[in-house]
A and B are shown apart, each in its own frame.
Chain A
Amino acid sequence: MTSISPGSEETLIDSSIKFQPERLINQIFRWVTIVMAVSVGVILLWITYSLLQIALPAIQAFGLGFLTNSTWNPVEEIYGTFPQIYGTILSAFLALLFAVPLGVGVAVFLTENFLPPKVVTPIAFIMELLAAIPSVVYGLWGIFVFLPAIRPALQVINKAFGWIPFFSTVPGGRHLFGASLVLAIMILPTIVAISRDTMTSLPPQLRQGAYGLGATRWETITRVLVPAGLSGIIGSVMLALGRAVGETMALAMLVGNANKANISWFSPASTIASLIANQFGEASGLQKSSLFYGALILMILTLLVNILAQMIVGRFQQVE
């Protein structure tokens, strides 16, 4: 007791009053991070609020019929985005159809000792470069190189399988199918990168356990490793889906921008993002309001995809 004299108390008080630069920096840093954290939320709220506010006249005018109506008529001021919603979902779905098997396959191929590390590193690097290409470059390449290149093949498919509704139109210069293929290339790096991380992070004991029971490499991959890494793989697919749904520039250039929902994949189509990109310049009044309504739908769509992704990933993690 005697050791705690009033004198030592005084020095305690003194030191807190004394100017301490570290303390000040700490305080400033704290406030800066709080402001930054809050500003992210504020911006999100601001965007949502303005979307809702500007879309309101269109929401009041068309209600949910906006989702099912195929007319986009600025002269008579009637707007509906059914073809765009259809095109958005179908192009994203087709892109996934090609990108998922390819992406998971590449990820497995890069991780399961098929190739020496000297080859894996450059391939992985190239995959990452693929993600760095601006989407307008993809669009330009697609329109002048890729679509003309695949056209003869698509014409053959149309001739041979034209009786199947999906291939029933003769492919022209721009179409949903070609746009979806380019989209598949664009989302491929996302699937490969995340699936690959998942596969490499699996404990090596799993691999040895399967091999030790006499599983072949194929059985080890398909029955043990891919199921064990399923949550990561699904997560990568969902992220890719989010990107595919929102992708704008390349699709606006490639999809053909036809305001019609066509069952045939070889016909021109439209997506919500491409519609907005094409029309925002001259839009005003109810048309502008309708574009904002479309943007709102797009935002809700990507939000749903993300929520779904979280749910699926969470569910598989529970099983593990």
Chain B
Amino acid sequence: MNPSTRPSSTSDTLTNDNIVIRTENVSIFYGAFQAVRNVFLDVPKHNVVALIGPSGCGKSTLLRCYNRLNDLIPGARVEGKISYQGVDLYDPKIDPVEVRRRIGMVFQKANPFPKSIYENVAFGARINGFKGNMDELVERSLRGAALWDEVKDKLKESGLSLSGGQQQRLCIARTIAIEPEVILMDEPCSALDPISTLRVEDLMHELKKRFTIIIVTHNMQQASRVADMTAFFNAEATEGGSRFGYLVEYDKTYNIFNSPKQQATQDYVSGRFG
């Protein structure tokens, strides 16, 4: 398949109103190396969108561009247009700090701060100059992350004293405490046991009522369980030997797993490679 052609998508079923993030012909570079090529991808509101594909296909790279976290990597560069509610995220006038306050992120490895559970959740609100009732916000966020009952008696203990699954839900609580509109999740369950994974997945169903979620996952069952829409990325080698990622197919999750239009998608979801 020629990766520069626009993959089939369901954008005809989406109206402009309910698109939160629009990705138009985006390519991502690290220095001279092109990591991701010509991606078109629209994210509808209150949906869970899964990005799947083999390692090195650029799905995490793309995810990190949605809240401009790739800015932190020297030499990273984005071409094309990523817009959030109609605003170009890479407009020079845009403050990346402000972007990250509206588009939160949960990472692959749970990364609570070496602070108390309470302070972990309160951190984002504090730096945002939150004036309201902090206790209430912390409780609400921890409830939202389905963690409150487990930690309500030990809010003063270190966030690092929790189990891996609890830490990841703490990170989710920390993220929803800043009331973002979109939550990016970079393989949030890859370090968790199956039971913790199920809890986080249940949580995602709950969270999408309030937020829009984009999740990168290696786990195809997870994508089929949680995602409304799924985008399949693949990697291809260039003449120079380096690899770049591109979007193969983006459709309703059911279609991606049951009647994909591209052969590569069919091969991947049926486990023939990747």
Contacts and interface: CB of A to CB of B under 8 A. Distances in A.
Interface of A: 113, 116, 203, 205-216, 219, 223-224, 227-228, 319-320
B128 interface: yes
Counting chain B CB atoms within 10 Å of each CB, the highest count among A113, A207, A214 belongs to A214
B107 A214 contact: no
A227 B159 CA distance: 14
9 contacts: A113-B72, A203-B111, A206-B113, A207-B72, A213-B100, A214-B100, A214-B124, A214-B178, A224-B113
Contact of A208 (B69, B97, B102): B69
Nearest to A213: B124
Contacts of A224: 113, 123
Contact of B123 (A207, A211, A216, A223): A223
B175 A206 contact: no
Nearest to B99: A214
Contact of B97 (A206, A216, A319): A216
A242 B60 CA distance: 48
B114 interface: yes
B69 A214 contact: no
B152 interface: no
Given A212-B105, A319-B158, A223 B127 contact: yes
Contacts of B174: 209, 213
Contact of A215 (B97, B107, B160): B97
Interface in B58-96: 67, 69, 72, 74
A227 B124 contact: no
Given A223-B127, A320-B160, A212 B113 contact: no
B97 A205 contact: no
A211 B109 CA distance: 15
Given A213-B100, A213-B175, A208 B72 contact: yes
A205 B175 contact: no
Contacts of B126: 223
A219 B69 contact: no
A213 to B, nearest CB: 4
Contacts of B171: 209
Interface in B155-177: 158, 160, 171, 174-175
B127 A215 contact: yes
Q: Which 5 A-B pairs have the closest CB atoms?
A: A214-B101, A205-B111, A212-B105, A213-B124, A214-B100
B113 A228 contact: yes
A216 B71 CA distance: 13
B260 interface: no
A113 B100 contact: no
Nearest to B124: A213
Interface in B127-170: 127-128, 158, 160
B114 A227 contact: yes
Contact of A320 (B100, B104, B158): B158
Counting chain A CB atoms within 10 Å of each CB, the highest count among B113, B115, B124 belongs to B113
Contacts of A319: 114, 158
B114 A228 contact: yes
A211 B101 CA distance: 9
B114 A214 contact: no
B65 to A, nearest CB: 13
A214 B98 contact: yes
Given A209-B107, A214-B100, A214-B128, 14 more contacts: A113-B74, A209-B112, A211-B69, A212-B107, A213-B101, A213-B124, A213-B175, A214-B97, A214-B101, A214-B124, A215-B97, A215-B124, A228-B113, A319-B158
B199 to A, nearest CB: 21
A116 to B, nearest CB: 8
A213 B104 contact: yes
A210 B72 CA distance: 12
B127 A213 contact: yes
A225 to B, nearest CB: 10
Nearest to A202: B114
B113 A210 contact: yes
Counting chain A CB atoms within 10 Å of each CB, the highest count among B72, B127, B175, B178 belongs to B127
A110 to B, nearest CB: 15
B211 to A, nearest CB: 15
B127 A219 contact: yes
Contact of A209 (B97, B98, B111, B178): B111
Counting chain A CB atoms within 10 Å of each CB, the highest count among B69, B74, B124 belongs to B124
Contacts of A205: 107, 109, 111
A213 B111 CA distance: 12
A222 to B, nearest CB: 10
B240 to A, nearest CB: 25
Contacts of A219: 127
B149 to A, nearest CB: 24
A113 B101 CA distance: 22
Nearest to A224: B113
A319 B105 CA distance: 26
A65 to B, nearest CB: 47
A216 B72 CA distance: 12
